[in-house]
Structure 1
Amino acid sequence: MPRKTRTPSSKDKAGRDGAAAHPLSDALGHEFKNAALLSEALTHMSMAPEGGQGSYERLEFLGDRVLGLIIADVLIKTYPQEREGDLAVRFNALVRAETCEQVAQEAGLGKHIEMSSGEARAGGRKHATILADVCEAVIGALYLDGGLEVAERFIRRYWEPKLSLNLKPPRDSKTVLQEWAQAHGLGLPSYELLKRKGPDHAPTFDVEVAVEGRKPAKGIGSSKRAAEQAAAETLLKREGLTSDE
């Protein structure tokens, strides 16, 4: 009696092919062998059980470290004559949340994030912090699925164009404000957290910066650091300065 050939079910195909056909494969430059890794990297806490298990948090933790290692290596090779201090400024600009958010937008990650309908209606797919976190989680997933080479390929694809845009070490607003204040004998700027609002996974921070003899300035951001930068930038603009000067 001839042996019956079983037609593969969709579940069989998913298990065999993983995320090979995932619409993000081209943007990521990688076809996942383990589909669960990419799924986890794209799962918001609102879709995970209590405690966040199964969301992107753990992969974000790993991806942050992988990103830092690769960016540090790229900078050392790209700027062999630059001092550690200048390399550190470049590094901070490239690994900060704002840059990760920009990469997430360029790669089109937002529309693929799994989140609750309420979170989606609140604009979660476009929220700066969520996009930055998912970007790092995807890097972590790429590393686990394909190794350092695969993660590096993705990072170089999206970060190297940003290297060429920063031909001189960028200076952030907090650093410029501090240098300006000290140069004028005003002491160090002081930052105060005025308010923290929003849910734990998507908070908003209101910060005020004060410099001796000057009216305080306020800033809002998706992280305390971002809010401090915004406040410093506001005060600098009031004094007729920018972070590029």
Structure 2
Amino acid sequence: MKEGFIDKFQHKIGIKFDNLKILELALTHSSYANEHNLSEYNERLEFLGDSVLQLCITEYLYENCKDNNEGDLTRKRATIVCESSLYKVGKQWDLGEFIKLSKGESLSGGKTRISTIADTVEAVIAAVYLDKGYKFACKFILKFFKDIIKSSEVINYLDHKTRLQEFIQAKTSDKIKYNLIKEEGPSHKKIFHVQVVIGEKEYGMGIGNFKKEAEQSAAEKTLKMLE
């Protein structure tokens, strides 16, 4: 990676790294590593970044949402720490332009792929954590997640499955099922695909890093279809 290229990304995220190699690793996709016979790429950093992000957001909600019980806090955290939120942050950074991908992955749309961008955001968070420490990393996270945290979707979080259940019960006796269509990804970073079935009819499909998150997403999409 050219020095000017990585300098541009540092400017984009507002950090000057002491260890540029850890940042470059965070931006290295497995496809690029395979193409260039490299032994390391950003998957392990994704794993670490996910944990740092979870802890930071958990601490923030614990300190700032004192009227919420454990269930409310868990649901809010799931709304913040999800693929779509990570993708929004990555878009703020124009991250797709900085990820090192193989030629084939680039040609197939890797620079704009939601999962690729979301995973790389986690890897960058891990790089910040390793280079600057937890307190700095948490400030960094809150800076870029502040709009997501404060959005009405998070503050006024509604349990979409409960809303869907109430909506259906008012109209029919059909049962709601959440069918797991598939799961993919490494064991530490699974992505679940769930579809709502009401009676015998299929409705919204949702994805998430947890089954419950995918079910909530599917319920939300189904509600939009029905309402």
| 1:63-142 → structure 2 map (5 Å cutoff) | 63-142=49-128
- What's 1:210 paired with? 197
Q: Secondary structure at the match of 2:195?
A: strand
| Aligned partner of 1:36 among 21, 32, 37 | 21
Structure showing greater radius of gyration is 1
Taking structure 1 as reference, are residues 84 and 185 closer, same or farther at Cα in structure 2, changes over 3 Å only?
Answer: farther
| Aligned partner of 1:191 among 165, 179, 192 | 179
Q: How many residues align?
A: 219
Say if 2:17 and 2:131, in contact at 8 Å, map to a contact too.
yes
TM-score for the superposition, normalised by structure 2: 0.80
Structure 1, unmatched stretches of 5+, are: 1-10, 241-245
Q: Secondary structure at the match of 1:36?
A: helix
**Structure 1 residue 118, shift from structure 2 partner:** 1.3
| Aligned partner of 2:164 among 167, 177, 185 | 177
Taking structure 1 as reference, are residues 154 and 133 closer, same or farther at Cα in structure 2, changes over 3 Å only?
Answer: same
| Aligned partner of 1:164 among 150, 165, 170 | 150
Amino acid across the alignment from 1:62: L
Work out the CA distance in 2 between the residues paired with 1:100 and 1:160.
12
TM-score for the superposition, normalised by structure 1: 0.74
Percent identity of paired positions between Structure 1 and Structure 2: 34
Deviations 1:3-36 (A, max 9, x none): xxxxxxxx9xx7xxxx996112133232111111
| Aligned partner of 1:144 among 124, 130, 136 | 130
Taking structure 1 as reference, are residues 81 and 205 closer, same or farther at Cα in structure 2, changes over 3 Å only?
Answer: closer
Amino acid across the alignment from 2:133: G
Tell me, yes or no, if structure 1 residue 239 matches structure 2 residue 226: yes
Structure 2, unmatched stretches of 5+, are: none
- What's 1:25 paired with? 10
Work out the CA distance in 1 between the residues paired with 2:183 and 2:67.
42
Please identify which structure carries the higher helix content: 2
Work out the CA distance in 2 between the residues paired with 1:29 and 1:154.
9
Say if 1:208 and 1:228, in contact at 8 Å, map to a contact too.
yes
Deviations 1:194-237 (A, max 9, x none): x789x99xx9987532123x622253758785865554344323
